[in-house]
Amino acid sequence: MEILFVTTELAPFVKVGGLADVSAALPKTLKALGHRVTIVMPRFPAFEEAGLLLARRLTPLSLELGGKKHEVTVYDGRLPSQVDLVLLDAPGLFDRAGVYGDRNEDYPDNAMRFAVLSRAVAEIVKQRAESGSPPDLVHVNDWPTALVSKYLKDLGVKTPSLLTIHNVAHQGIFSPTQGSKELLSDIGLSPADFNVGGIEFYGQLNFLKQGIVSADAVTTVSATYAKEIQSEQGGCRLDGVLRAKERITGIINGVDYGVWNPATDSNIVARYDAEDASNKARCKGALQKELGLAIEEKAAIVASVGRLVAQKGTDLVIDAIPRILRGSDAQIVIAGDGDDAYVAKLEHAAEKSHGRVIFIRNAPEAQVHRIFAGADIALVPSRFEPCGLVQLYAQRYGAPPVAHATGGLVDTIVDCDSKLETGTGFLFDEPTADLLYATVQRAIAAFETDRWPVLRRRVMRLDRGWERAGRQYEHVYKSLVVTPGAA
Query: What's the whole-number mean pLDDT along residues 63-80?
Result: 94
Residue 380 has what pLDDT?
98
Query: What's the whole-number mean pLDDT along residues 373-392?
Result: 97
What confidence tier does 247 reach under pLDDT thresholds 50, 70, 90? confident
Q: How far is the C-alpha of 50 from the C-alpha of 56, rounded, in Å?
A: 17
What confidence tier does 217 reach under pLDDT thresholds 50, 70, 90? very high
**Does the pLDDT value for residue 154 go beyond 50?**
yes
Query: What's the whole-number mean pLDDT along residues 2-13?
Result: 97
Of the two residues 58 and 37, the one the predictor is more confident about is: 37
111-132: per-residue pLDDT in tens?
Answer: 999 999 999 999 999 999 999 9
Residue 486 has what pLDDT?
43
Q: Would you say 339 and 104 are in contact if contact means Cβ atoms under 8 Å apart?
A: yes
Give the DSSP letter of residue 63.
E
Q: How far is the C-alpha of 428 from the C-alpha of 467, rounded, in Å?
A: 30
Residue 168 has what pLDDT?
98
- The SS3 of residue 10 is strand
283-342: per-residue pLDDT in tens?
Answer: 999 999 999 999 999 999 999 999 999 999 999 999 999 999 999 999 999 999 999 999
Residue 66 has what pLDDT?
85
DSSP secondary structure, 386-437, as one string:
SS-SHHHHHHHTT--EEEES-HHHHHH--BPPTTSSS-SBEEESS--HHHHH
Cis peptide before 176 (omega within 30 of 0): no
Other Cβ atoms within 10 Å of 232 Cβ, number: 9
Residue 179 has what pLDDT?
60
pTM of structure = 0.94
Domains parsed from the chain with CATH numbers: 2-254+467-480 (3.40.50.2000), 279-460 (3.40.50.2000)
Helix (H) or strand (E) holding 71: strand 68-78
